[in-house]
Amino acid sequence: MKVDTDVLVPMTEANQNFSKVVRLVEENGMAVIMKNNVPRYMVLSFREYDEIQTARRKLFNDVADSVISENIEALKELAK
């Protein structure tokens, strides 16, 4: 996963200056908190989170519809 370097915040700085994290979220939709120079946590705006959840639900439904349509005859046979 690629992470925009503009949204990275070291853990120490996030602890000492949470308003900076909030500002990054307001400006970019997210902030990534680094721990030991590794991206560990992501803070998202609720709008961004909702968009991700909506996309995940759509993807799940599309995959389910595809599996059902590819196997409809077998499913009908099992339903007998």
pLDDT digits (tens, 9 = 90+) for 17-71: 999 999 999 999 899 999 999 999 999 999 989 999 999 999 999 999 999 999 9
Residues 1 and 39 in one domain: yes
Domain that holds residue 60: 46-80
Q: Is the pTM of this model over 0.75?
A: no
- What pLDDT was estimated at residue 23? 95
- φ and ψ at residue 44, rounded to 5 degrees: -115, 150
Tell whether 53 and 68 lie within a shared domain.
yes
Whether residue 39 sits in one domain with residue 61: no
Same domain, 75 and 52: yes
Please tell me the predicted confidence (pLDDT) of residue 3. 67
73 has a pLDDT exceeding 80: yes
Shared domain for 5 and 31, answered yes or no, is yes
Q: How many folded domains does the chain comprise?
A: 2
Do 38 and 56 belong together in one domain?
no
